[in-house]
Amino acid sequence: MQARMENPAVIIPEAMKVLLNLSKVTRKGGVAETTLQLIQLRVSQINGCSVCVDGDARSAGKAGVSDEQRFALAAWRDTPYFSDAERAVLALAEAATRLADKPEPVPDALWDEAAKHYSKEELSAIVLTIGMTNMFNRINVTTRQIAGVQPWE
């Protein structure tokens, strides 16, 4: 596999600064780092972003996400490794990533379940993390970035 081009955020360094700053700011929203890592990894799995799945799985492990959670994340509904709060946020992340799959992509019941576990500030950090991860996935898949090569580190 060969990249089509360098990562656009590397070509336009100011963009990378903004993206990394947004990522840093969302980390101040009160959500556990392990939860944010699970979100990023699950969204990247759905989008088939090899560079992100590779990097997110590694980052999740370093952040303290258990091996059981990382290995079973694609089947989170059918495993005992996730709390109710994590399940709610994973359902939200999946729905917000698969917007075109349903007439009502993020149903009220799904949102309300997440809101039972997280404050507005925390939900803001979660939604921003979902959106940012989707954006990174789309950039990396479009330009065929290579797993193991992460120029932003």
How confident is the model over 11-33, as pLDDT tens digits?
A: 999 999 999 999 999 999 999 99
What is the three-class DSSP state of 104? coil
How many other C-beta atoms lie within 10 A of the C-beta of residue 95? 19
Q: Is 111 exposed, middle or buried (0-12, 13-18, 19+ CB in 10 A)?
A: middle
Q: Which domain holds residue 66?
A: 32-142
CATH number for the domain spanning 133: value is 1.20.1290.10
Cα distances from 14 to residues 8, 18, 20, 81, 95, in angstroms, run 11, 6, 10, 39, 31
Residue 125 is assigned to a structural domain of this protein? yes
Residue 36 pLDDT > 80: yes
Answer yes or no: are the C-beta atoms of 152 and 6 closer than 8 Å. Answer: no
Enter the pTM of the model: 0.93
Q: Considering its fold, how many domains does the chain have in total?
A: 1
